[in-house]
Amino acid sequence: MESSVTKLKVYDVIVLGAGASGLMCSATVAYNDKKTVLVLDHAPKAAAKIRISGGGKCNFTNVEVSPTNFICQNPHFVKSALSRYPSSAFVELVERHSLAYEVREGGKYFCAERASDLIQILRTECDWAGVEFSLKTTIQSVQYRGGKYSVKTSQGEYEALKLVVATGALSFPKLKATGIGYDIAKQFGLNLIETTPGLVPLNFSDKWQARFSELSGLSMKVCAQVADHDFTEAMLFTHKGLSGPAILQVSNYWKQGERLTLNPLPDFSEQQALEALLALKLSGKSLPKWLNERWPKRFTQIWLEVYPMEAVLSNVSNERLQHYAKQLTHWVLFPANTAGYDKAEVTLGGVDTDEVSSKTFESKQQPNLFFIGEVLDVTGQLGGFNFQWAWASGMACGLAL
């Protein structure tokens, strides 16, 4: 139901944001308690991020979801909502609507056809529950007076007894992401954790860009490591730096100025690489040929220009081979920066989770004000975890409203 109400009607609940968490929360509260719910969003259609995610097929959850898949200053915060709404519950929901889906490597659930099918399910749930929508409606300001929230928008003013902030975070501004949720949090005195782009490509420094940008488009399996976090997955060269799942995953843990260590031979430890080189030395086979059996040829060629190594190892000392083995398994880079919010799938940081209840998502200091989804300082790894957080936090809040 679209609405263009301009006169003041007091809703039980206004949900700011028709994204993943906002839709889940709205359907839950309206369905369970028959409360009047209005969802406001400035986008012309609901859930733009679901629509384009996962290459248009939306990686909507994961078989195995654990608190360790999330980054949050308080690692215990996510436990309650995730345990009350496991991924199997969301899969049950989509199965009830006969969504065709597939489970890919790493337990990742994707729509078999279109992500828009998933949006349709959430919109249907909202319609059945009688949720009202006002899209193309920019939220301008929020006020709390006389025990009610008043929301000023481009389409007029709306009032509600309870307000849910589900406006997401800063990533992908071209999909209408804004920081309004942070502004509302600040206005009501909630603390914010500094935000940075997450699940984001990393840019080379000039030196490496000049050398490796010609590999743009090339993908290879690596083990990418930052501090004590490592991920063995595909890495993609871009014209500015590195992307692909391994880099996006590790970017969540990378901070400006820190090193990124890549093992381009992820099936080999340094010791195993040394053993392989010693065997090559004995057999007299060529090192570039051995590398070409494991790497794309273009990468081998540039690698050996940057890190010259003898082609035949017969006369290379074992000490030198040790050095080769280290170089081949520890490619140390200092990325210049990330590709920023324009290219980041998520935003690290946000509303401090110490400020809200992990059971109801209500602010501890401001009555009837709730924060769910990505606006909170909760960030999932790649693999459907961010949507699972949106579903779980939306559901927990919806049940509490």
Ligand X SMILES: Cc1cc2nc3c(=O)[nH]c(=O)nc-3n(C[C@H](O)[C@H](O)[C@H](O)COP(=O)(O)OP(=O)(O)OC[C@H]3O[C@@H](n4cnc5c(N)ncnc54)[C@H](O)[C@@H]3O)c2cc1C
**For residues 328 and 299, what is the distance between their CA atoms, to the nearest angstrom?**
12
Q: Does 167 bind ligand X (CB under 6 A)?
A: yes
Among 14, 15, 20, 200, binds ligand X (CB under 6 A): 20
Structural contact between residues 40 and 165, judged by C-beta atoms closer than 8 angstroms: no
Please state the closest distance from residue 249 (CB atom) to ligand X, in A: 13
Question: Least distance from C-beta 351 to ligand X, angstroms?
Answer: 11
Annotate each residue in 301-340 with x if it binds ligand X (CB under 6 A) or - if it does not, as one string: ----------------------------------------
384 binds ligand X (CB under 6 A): yes
Please give the DSSP secondary-structure letter assigned to residue 70. E
Q: Which stretch binds ligand X (CB under 6 A): 19-27, 216-224, 278-286, 363-371?
A: 19-27
Q: Minimal CA–CA distance to 13: which of 312, 278, 401? A: 401
Nearer to ligand X by Cβ, of 162 and 343: the residue is 343
| Under 8 Å between Cβ of 276 and 270 | no
Q: How far is the CB of 25 from ligand X (least distance, A)?
A: 9
**Is 350 a residue that touches ligand X (CB under 6 A)?**
no
Is 171 a binding residue for ligand X by CB under 6 A? The answer is yes
The DSSP call for residue 190 is: -
C-alpha of 94 from chain center? 21
On whether the CB atoms of residues 107 and 64 are closer than 8 A, the answer is yes
Contact status: 281 vs ligand X (CB under 6 A)? no
Among 170, 180, 223, 277, binds ligand X (CB under 6 A): 180
- Residue 18 in the binding site for ligand X (CB under 6 A): yes
Nearer to ligand X by C-beta: 116 or 178?
A: 178
Q: Cα–Cα distance between 77 and 388 in angstroms, integer?
A: 15
Our CB check for ligand X shows the closer of 135 and 316 to be 135
Question: Is residue 69 close enough to count as binding ligand X by CB under 6 A?
Answer: no
- Contacts with ligand X by CB under 6 A: the residue count is 38
**Strands (DSSP E) found in 7-107:** 10-16, 37-40, 59-62, 70-71, 101-104
Q: Which residue is nearest to ligand X (CB)?
A: 19
Choose the stretch contacting ligand X; rule: CB under 6 A; options: 49-57, 87-95, 124-132, 324-332.
49-57
Nearer Cβ to ligand X (144/208): 144
Distance CA 287, CA 172 (A): 43
Q: At what angle do helices 20-33 and 385-400 cross, to 10 degrees?
A: 30
Name the pairing type of β-strands 148-153 and 331-333.
unpaired
The secondary structure of residue 72, as a DSSP letter, is -
CA-based max dimension of the chain: 87
Tell me: does residue 22 bind ligand X (CB under 6 A): yes
In the block, which residue shows the tokens 């529950």? Answer: 129
Residue with tokens 């501004």: 173
User: Judged by CB, which is closer to ligand X: 46, or 262?
Assistant: 46
Q: How many CB atoms lie within 10 A of CB 31?
A: 17
Does 391 sit near ligand X (CB under 6 A)?
Answer: no
Residue ranges in contact with ligand X by CB under 6 A = 17-22, 40-43, 48-49, 52-54, 58-59, 138-139, 166-168, 171-172, 176-178, 180, 345-346, 373-375, 384-387, 390
